[in-house]
Structure 1
Amino acid sequence: MKFLSVPLVLAAVVVATPTKRQTTWNPPNNLVTPLQRVWQHQVQTYNMNFKNFGYDQLMTANGTSKVCVRWEGNANLSEAQQWIDWLIRFDRFPYTSVPVDIVGYAVNNANRIQGSRNGIDVYTTKDRGGLPECDPRCGSFFYQTSGSRCPGGAARHHDWSLWLTPGFGGGAGGDWGARMGQEYFMGAVNSENIHIFLHELGHYFALDDFYN
């Protein structure tokens, strides 16, 4: 184990594009009506002029994504990675791969970080609730229109946070990133699909919870 043992989640990988796929919006006939209802709910519920979701950040960052990991609790952590691919070639999406770079970790004690710290920032600052927080000056969530004020410059900026909390049930997600149980995530990290992670990451990309 090296730095935060999440080797299959969050990596700069070149993704093989599925061979059978469509490049424009053309859902099956039986899904046209329900998908239209979901879209109407989205338009009626949310501000469509808000431009800080994951898709917007990808376009602003020229097809790259930078992550800061919020690691709560007292467990030590030891290197990390993941990929996304379904936007490739759809509706003129311009990128064929999205490199993901972990640029920092927020921990309650810097000694939790084991191994080399080269190329990463280690934060021990706390949010208003006393929980480890990545430097707000470096985050897209905090500077949605004016660009970050990161002391280390653009290279240390992060687009979103992967927030891992011991004992956390379920998950949460938004333009700030994704949050879920630390035990759940680490236990599922070698799985092909980490259900809660993928669900919450969908919220980062502006997908709605709509179960009606």
Structure 2
Amino acid sequence: MDRFVPYGPSHWVLMVLIVVGSVAVAAVGHRQRGSPSAVVFTRGFALVLLAFGVVTLTYRLLPAHWDIGESLPLQLCDLAWIVAVPALWTHRPLACALLYYWGLTLTPQAMITPALDAPDFPSFDFIEFWGQHLLVIWAAAYLTWGAGVRPTWRGYWFAAAVTLSWGAAMLVFNARAGTNYGFVSRKPDNPSLLDVMGGWPWYLGVEVIVGLAAWALLTWPWTRSPRRVVRA
């Protein structure tokens, strides 16, 4: 089986799916907003994401596939799908805020510069990586533009605090376990935006500054909009 190649045919197909799927679920959510069918759709979406996440996580935890550096659900993209389930099910503001910032900034970045050294479709690694990322982005798009759950500065500061706490915890865990979750202990081997942010540990500070600034820019337009529906 051929190996996955960044910016090869399958990668471009998936990049298109990000946009097409996001527009589709947002349109469905907007059309259903306030109706009983919206509850059925959003909770069905949550169950699909939960089922996908549990199956892939169970596979990774099996002895034959166990790898302490990859099997634990400690990457932010892993935490994003875990957060997406209650966010879709309940529309709770803080869960939706985490999904908004993680799902619409960090997850797309992981898809643009994928750290995936695996066979191409239809390998399990390929389906796991891309399926998880696509579902998270679609969930964030659905809640934001479909269901009308919008970010606020409270959600911004909550997401910032949780993310910084996670980063600090990963630094400690990586040092003890010899892993590199979150790429906070060293840069990934594949090209990424971190390559232009300096060496370790300087790129961590740059990443925080750039990330918080980008999140602020993604919050500001919503907080000025008179058409807010639900605050997150």
- TM-score, normalising length from structure 1? 0.27
Q: Tell me which protein shows more strand as a share of its residues.
A: 1
Highest RCO, 1 vs 2 (Cα 8 Å, sep ≥ 6): 2
